[in-house]
Structure 1
């Protein structure tokens, strides 16, 4: 199977955790629906269509953390835009803006692995990445978090089953056999529950428990399925 590989990075990122409201927290990496939105922006697929065009039945995704996960807190002013106008200064019974404390990722960088069954679409996305010709602005979660990207390559990937390997990507728990993870010294392991799939109405269809290493190091585990690219193993969501 041919896989498209590219890196995406920026100064800041925010991938809101679904259970936070007034003080939003962020996932440490973009969940699959967010990655689909990023690819849709590059290809020029509209907001109403990208979850259909890039549905889980048609594409495969994996993500690798390249830069160590760093999180900071920042106060952001949210401007009142109700009734299609914004209030430039405080009036009686009206607040011009509301400040919220938001958790942000600092200097995030990720490697994305992507496959799609539609060969024409797949090749067009490859060409846009090669030529750095995205249709819409690429961001890391929020429109304010402008991102850049670089083409890494198109490489052959081969599936390997029921083996103990060093997984470079974020690792979904459903692939781990017998709960076997070899915890090694000098590595920081974290577990999170992320939205793994959404329908066209943006309703979450599936959540996934995943484990990752905060500095982007590999995870030694016994897995039911992994994909080999050169000398590394990845696991799709």
Structure 2
């Protein structure tokens, strides 16, 4: 993959909900969008077709999660605004017993945990240069094919072009490095692998990293962030440095 060319853009909104896979009646949210959620947003912007039915795609259609797989695409996410969460009740309608007559359907209020005023910066590298150019043009000129959203359809995402930049892969020899993006803890090495600072607030969650075309999760990893957006200090074998911006790690 060509890591040198990076597309950098911001995603913001009023609320976001990136549902944790292990929550049931009161859905909890991750503090940052998962790699799989970001792939979905990029697919919406490009207008990539979804399946005709579960797991079935039209001929010559590459599913979003395969197109933006780790082997073909690098994705890093940075916290720009401090992570704030809020619980809000949603009135859900039971359509199983009365889909066409909602007056007879049962109503259930479910409390959702939401990220309030989310603001993230995404760093993207792609193997497919043609799609990279198209995505860059669409984001810069706000020509989204479908409306991107922050986890749930009612939470529309504002996507703003920041810049295109050049990155350089650096071998760290196991030294402690300052990283400005979320860190996939499967990539850290040495002892101690992470240097925590007392005045900062850290959060680590087991997040989906890769899915197949049936939307089955192929890989989970612990992902570490500093909740106010401060850099992390970790030991890694290699990282990407972006001149004038800082060091990043792909999820």
Provide the TM-score with structure 1 as the length reference. 0.94
Q: CA deviation at 1:181?
A: 1.6
SS of alignment partner, residue 237 of structure 2: strand
Give the corresponding residue for 2:54: none
Q: 2:179–2:248: 8 Å Cα contact kept in structure 1?
A: yes
- Superimposed CA distance per residue, residues 83-142 of structure 1 (whole angstroms, 9 cap, x where no aligned partner): 6835443x4xx51x2110110110001101111111111111011011110000110001
Which residue is 1:181 aligned to? 194
Match of 2:140 in 1: 130
Q: Which residue of 2 aligns with 1:160?
A: 170
* Correspondence 1:109-124 to 2 at 5 A: 109-124=119-134
On the 8 A contact 1:80/1:86 being kept in 2, the answer is: no
Match of 1:72 in 2: 86
2:42 equivalent in structure 1: 39
Structure 1 residue runs of 5 or longer lacking an equivalent are: none
Task: Check the 8 A contact 1:79/1:86 in 2, yes or no.
Answer: no
**Corresponding residue pairs, total:** 233
- RMSD between aligned residues: 1.4
Q: Name the CA distance, whole Å, in 2 between partners of 1:168 and 1:158.
A: 15
- Pair 1:2 & 2:5 matched: yes
Partner of 2:193: helix, strand, or coil?
strand
Return the offset for 1:205.
0.4
* Aligned position for 1:103: 113
User: What secondary structure sits across from 2:12 in the alignment?
Assistant: strand
TM-score (norm. length: structure 2): 0.89
Q: Which moved more, 1:177-186 or 1:24-33?
A: 177-186
SS of 1:82's partner is coil
Residue in structure 1 matching 2:210, options 184, 197, 202: 197
Aligned partners of 1:10 and 1:146 also within 8 Å:
yes
Of 172-181 and 76-85, deviating more is 76-85
Q: Does 1:24 align with 2:27?
A: yes
Asked whether the 8 Å contact 1:60–1:114 carries over to 2, the reply is: yes
In 2, Cα distance between the equivalents of 1:79 and 1:225? Answer: 49
| CA–CA distance in structure 2, aligned partners of residues 47 and 61 of structure 1 | 21
Segments of structure 2 that go 5 or more residues without pairing to the other structure are 52-62
Contact 2:168 2:240 in 1 (8 A): yes
CA distance in 2, matches of 1:62, 1:84: 43
Distance 1:191 1:73 in 2: 20
Are the structure 2 counterparts of residues 103 and 166 from structure 1 closer, same or farther at C-alpha, using a change threshold of 3 Å? same
- Partners of 2:97 and 2:74 in 1: how far apart? 41
- How far apart, CA to CA, are the structure 2 residues paired with 1:83 and 1:4? 47
Tell me the residue number matched to 2:75.
61
